[in-house]
């Protein structure tokens, strides 16, 4: 995969979904070529080596939610999933084995379809621990999102990765 293959989606506030006007959603198609076994472990090692310690293996919730105090990376290691990002008027993305999606703090996400046995590795930048927000539970969410610091590295490409450039409007001390 090359950095120029990244798909970028800007997701401003849409209704009750805060999203993140300064940090776009990033999709890395086939970030890891899904050959052989051990794709989940390969994602965990890659994310952890780049300052995004692997936190869990599971799927994607089938309801709108977001994290107001942490960015998130999703590495798909089995099955196929369609996820809606940004709320009801947002963008739907299909992802499969080897794909990575970087979800900025505040960007709503919801599983809307899956095929096969879905497996996802989730991770957050070092020192960030996610909360769990849903529509109707937005008190203080925008203020928390504005204080989330930009990660020091891209979860796939490391310290000089495209996230660091694409999220450059987000100050290293917090999104403005």
> Per-residue pLDDT tens for 61-73?
999 999 999 999 9
> In whole numbers, what is the pLDDT of the chain averaged over residues?
92
Is 175 part of a structural domain of the chain? no
Res. 97 pLDDT band, cuts 50 70 90: very high
Q: pTM of the entire structure? A: 0.93
Contact yes or no for 108/134 (Cβ under 8 A): no
Whole-angstrom CA distances from 13 to 26, 45, 139, 146, 166 are 17, 33, 15, 13, 18
Is 176 part of a structural domain of the chain? no
Instruction: Indicate left, alpha or beta for 115 from its phi (over 0: left) and psi (-120 to 50: alpha).
Output: beta
Is 107 part of a structural domain of the chain? yes
Structural domain containing residue 121: 3-166
State the total domains in the chain. Answer: 1
Structural Rg of the chain based on CA atoms? 15
> Per-residue pLDDT tens for 152-162?
999 999 999 99
Is 26 part of a structural domain of the chain? yes
> Per-residue pLDDT tens for 18-41?
999 899 999 999 999 998 889 999
């Amino acid at each position: 995969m090359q950095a120029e293959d990244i798909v970028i989606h800007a997701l401003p506030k849409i209704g009750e979904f805060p999203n993140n006007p300064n940090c776009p959603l990033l999709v890395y198609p086939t970030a890891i070529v899904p050959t052989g076994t051990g794709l989940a472990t390969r994602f965990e090692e890659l994310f952890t080596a780049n300052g995004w310690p692997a936190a869990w293996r599971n799927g994607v919730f089938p309801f709108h939610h977001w994290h107001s105090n942490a960015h998130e990376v999703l590495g798909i290691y089995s099955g196929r999933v369609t996820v809606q990002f940004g709320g009801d008027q947002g963008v739907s993305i299909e992802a499969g084995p080897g794909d990575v999606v970087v979800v900025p703090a505040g960007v709503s996400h919801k599983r809307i379809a899956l095929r096969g046995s879905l497996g996802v590795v989730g991770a957050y930048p070092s020192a960030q621990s996610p909360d769990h927000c849903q529509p109707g539970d937005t008190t203080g969410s925008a203020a928390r999102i504005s204080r989330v610091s930009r990660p020091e590295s891209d979860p796939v490409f490391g310290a000089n990765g495209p996230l660091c450039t694409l999220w450059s409007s987000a100050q290293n001390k917090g999104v403005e």
